[in-house]
Structure 1
Amino acid sequence: MSMSVQIGDLTRIEADAVVNAANSMLLGGGGVDGAIHAAAGPRLLEACRRLRNTTHRDGLDVGDAVATPAFDLPASWVIHTVGPNLHRGQDDPVQLASCFARSLDVAAGLDVRSVAFPAVSAGAYGWPVDDVARIAVMTCRAWLAGHPEARPRDIRFVVLDERGRDVFDAALRAG
């Protein structure tokens, strides 16, 4: 088992699955969501539309996750999760933790070895990166401890800058 942090572009990360900080409509947006949709190509939007027309007619709930193929990304899968939006009063850390746990549940169902996460709900959704890092690391550690035989075993947090790296490094060292 390993958890690490790196500065980089999530759309260029070679991992079995990348996690998309999606909006509930699953049809693309800004930030990480927009970048993943742009890099994956138009087939990702088609796959998300199929989800909206079948299993997720009302969209994806906050804290839930679902997978699609990654198409033109270097990953095999995109795991879409909807983080809580602090600007809309969604301030429950349990919802944020659920994004990470449910994404790992989906990854385990796909039998992938490696998953790359963004700082879900930081940035446009207003959550302080310190809180996101603490909750992400704590949740992923608990998930790994509770699923000792399951994959994934390689979890990476991909951030945009040195501050994000330092914050996630501190959360990883905290124990």
Structure 2
Amino acid sequence: MKIYTKTGDQGMTGLLGKGRVFKDDLRLEAYGTVDELNSVLGQVRAEGLDPATEALAARIQNELFVLGSAMADPDPAGKFYDAIGDEHVGELEKAIDAIDAELAPMRFFILPGGTKAAAGLHLARTVCRRAERSAVSLSRQPGGSVSASVLVYLNRLSDLLFVMARVVNHRAGVEDIPWKGI
């Protein structure tokens, strides 16, 4: 099977189960940003993580692939539309709580940085927030249905990526970088 199909040469692509749309369609922007987030996480994993964080990042990458499929399915009755559910959100919340229990309470705003992996996780968090904004925009347009669980998942994931960045620094003995204000 060839990697190129030539079916997108006129600026259109196919959605799961429903016709073709232009490549600048908001749905493609939303799930393309999820794909970008997945790539950022791949870069972070290439930096090297402790085993627990590595396993969590690998699970998230797999879930993001599923989430992208859910976003590519515009039909609420479609096969992939509800592929991300409450159980996925619940697992993110469990991970946030477990990591947060290891960290000192925050007493100040922090700047992204520290180790390369932590900086990458902060970048992933910001890409996740952009994916969430795109998904919300999509959900607000006529015919732009997005599973409610997808929106909650992206919101919770950005929180998880934040605490993951903090714990990566903590485990490496690197302090959070305090924001000093103006």
Normalising by structure 2, we get a TM-score of 0.29
Structure with the largest fraction of strand: 1
Structure with the largest fraction of helix: 2
